[in-house]
């Protein structure tokens, strides 16, 4: 765990060092690559997207949300319950209005809760990813628990500003990714 915390600090600093206009340009490139990745799955229509926490300088996935909706995808997000450390799925639409929750996560003002059953692909936040699909998140385990509950058929795709590391420390509860999208391309793991 100490090594993961050390790496979290390093990647938070690297992310913070990216200025706002560069972050927007990188986010736009990631959206293009994410849509290219999705084009490999023409029958896939149900996509879960994380929404960006501004204070953490996350990839602007609002751009991805809009693009997915424009392309006719059914899009989902999550509302986090910090008391039970669980994420609940909500349907997102073009007219969904958001407000920040107490953790700074954008959530729908009027959430439309829905079962996870239709989700076919999840775009996952991360600080770092390695060449095998192992990721380092923020250390709370929300996405590992969420992904573990979805089943093996759901495609798990990270979004990252930074290229994959050679290797990262892994804990027994960590759920590996199937792929990761970067500004200049994507990697499919374990093929």
Confidence of residue 80 (pLDDT cuts 50, 70, 90): confident
Yes or no: say if 94 and 105 are a contact pair by the CB < 8 Å rule: no
What CA dihedral angle connects 77, 96, 35 and 61, to 10 degrees?
-70
Q: Which residue numbers belong to the known binding site for ATP?
A: 4-8, 135-143
Residue 191 has pLDDT above 80, yes or no: no
CATH of the domain spanning 2-188: 3.40.50.10420
Q: Which residue numbers belong to the known binding site for substrate?
A: 51, 58
Q: Which residue numbers belong to the known binding site?
A: 4-8, 51, 58, 135-143
Q: Is the pTM of this model over 0.85?
A: yes
Phi, psi of 165 (to 5 degrees): -80, 160
Residues making up the chain, counted from first to last: 191
- Domain range annotation of the chain: 2-188
């Amino acid at each position: 765990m100490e090594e993961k915390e050390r790496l979290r600090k390093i990647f938070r600093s690297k992310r913070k060092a990216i200025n706002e206009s560069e972050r927007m340009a990188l986010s736009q490139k990631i959206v293009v690559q994410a849509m290219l990745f999705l084009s490999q799955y023409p029958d896939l229509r149900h996509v879960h997207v994380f929404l960006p926490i501004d204070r953490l300088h996350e990839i602007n996935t609002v751009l991805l949300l809009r693009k997915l909706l424009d392309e006719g995808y059914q899009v989902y997000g999550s509302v986090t319950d910090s008391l039970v450390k669980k994420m609940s799925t909500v349907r997102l639409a073009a007219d969904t209005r958001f407000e920040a929750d107490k953790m700074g996560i954008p959530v729908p003002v009027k959430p439309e809760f829905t079962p996870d059953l239709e989700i076919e692909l999840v775009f996952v936040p991360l600080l770092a990813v390695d060449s095998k699909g192992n990721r380092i998140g923020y250390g709370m385990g929300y996405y590992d628990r969420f992904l573990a509950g979805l089943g093996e058929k759901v495609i798990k795709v990270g979004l990252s500003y930074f290229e994959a590391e050679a290797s990262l420390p892994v804990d027994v509860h960590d759920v590996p990714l199937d792929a990761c999208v970067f500004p200049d391309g994507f990697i499919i793991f374990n093929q």
